[in-house]
Amino acid sequence: MKKMPRRRFLRSAAALGLGATAAGRWAQVPTRTPPPGRGIPLVLTSHTNDTGREALGQAWEILAGGGTALDAVERGANVIELDPDDTSVGYGGLPNAEGVVQLDASIMDGRTYSAGAVAALEGIKTPSSVARLVMERTDHVLIVGPGAQRLAVDFGYRVENLLTERARQAWLRWRENLSELDDWGPPEHLARRRRGGGGEVPPHERAEFHYGTTNVLAVDAKGDIAGVTTTSGLSWKIPYRVGDSPIIGAGLYVDNSVGAAGATGRGEDVIKSCASYFIVLRMKEGRTPQQACEDAVEMILDRYRAVGLDFVPPEKFVALNKAGQYGCASMPSGSDCRLTVRHQGGTETYEGVSLG
């Protein structure tokens, strides 16, 4: 690739409003919550149910025993992936439009600056562990579909049926309620949905519809940082649709000198905004994890305002930094903005801020 002379690059950056101007602008966004700091080691998850607490309990055992953040986040993610009653992650996740469960996951190890991910993986209950295989046993970052399953089988995983009876019944209910207002549509259809459906809720949106994912982020006693994001993706998605969770920089990002961030919610917006990378960058610029998560919400809202749309996609961001501070922000206003965290003082639910 031809290199751009430095002076020309700076001029183009200024024309685009990058650099100090952009940084200054986001820095003015006020934070609503004082950032907590609990020291290290520390592990958190975006899940706030009993399984989330159990996941942190097992991850904490690793951290308390001097283990790595990488092992801790994988263990925590596996606990949530294996819960058959969780319809948004791993085994028991809601299927795609054809009734097939396709899983996305990513893992990132700050200590070695390495990452791995799988997308549209079928038949394997713990996709985050397969993502770790991609990271540690191949020279690639992302492997998808049958290729990801083949890799898992090569390493001894068994292909299993991931569709639980509960998820199958939910899928059948959705299919019975199908209308022409599905995920396929012309541009007007997408614009209408972003504006809120023009008053009446379309029939398919009245049917059971689910977002859901989990992030597990940790900093270990040595100060090394790792993260996992794992999901069954949007329910009833178009087959082979890939969300933000396996996209490094979108659903997950880790920088060992700064911290880690993860996203849940409508993946399309997280991909377009590179939200997790943005949050880590903001922390590098001096923002606390709480402030940086709020910055990401404001940044996405601002992008839509700039094109004349009052669209507030449902998202939740979680982050931690090297010092053991953490934060969470969500949109729209009033949505769940909690995370569960485990530190030396015990396990607690932390409530961040919802905006938009």
Q: CB-wise, 206 or 272, nearer to ligand ASP?
A: 272
CA 323 to chain centre: 22
Query: Which one is catalytic: 126, 213, 230, 288?
Result: 213
Q: CB-wise, 130 or 234, nearer to ligand ASP?
A: 234
Three-class SS state of 6: helix
- Closest CA relative to residue 98, chosen from 203, 243, 238: 238
Q: How far is the CB of 279 from ligand ASP (least distance, A)?
A: 15
Known catalytic residue at 31: no
**Dihedral through CA 21, CA 24, CA 29, CA 34, nearest 10?**
160
Angle among Cα 9, 14, 16 to the nearest 5 degrees reads 95
Single-letter residue type at 88: S
9 and 285 in contact (C-beta within 8 Å)?
no
Q: How far is the CB of 96 from ligand ASP (least distance, A)?
A: 11
- Cα separation of 167 and 210, whole Å? 11
Helix axes 289-306, 275-284, angle to 10 degrees: 130
- Cα separation of 239 and 115, whole Å? 25
Q: How far is the CB of 241 from ligand ASP (least distance, A)?
A: 8
Single-letter residue type at 333: S
290 and 31 in contact (C-beta within 8 Å)?
yes
Q: How far is the CB of 233 from ligand ASP (least distance, A)?
A: 4
Look-up of token digits 């949505």: 335
119 and 248 in contact (C-beta within 8 Å)?
no
Single-letter residue type at 164: T
Check whether the bond before 332 is cis (ω within 30° of 0): yes
Beta-strand (E) ranges in 134-278? Answer: 142-144, 214-219, 225-231, 252-255, 259-265
Q: Rg (Cα) of the chain, in Å, rounded?
A: 20
**Residues binding ligand ASP (CB under 6 A):** 211-213, 231, 233-234, 243-245, 264-267
Both tokens assigned to 100: 């097939």
Active site residues: 213
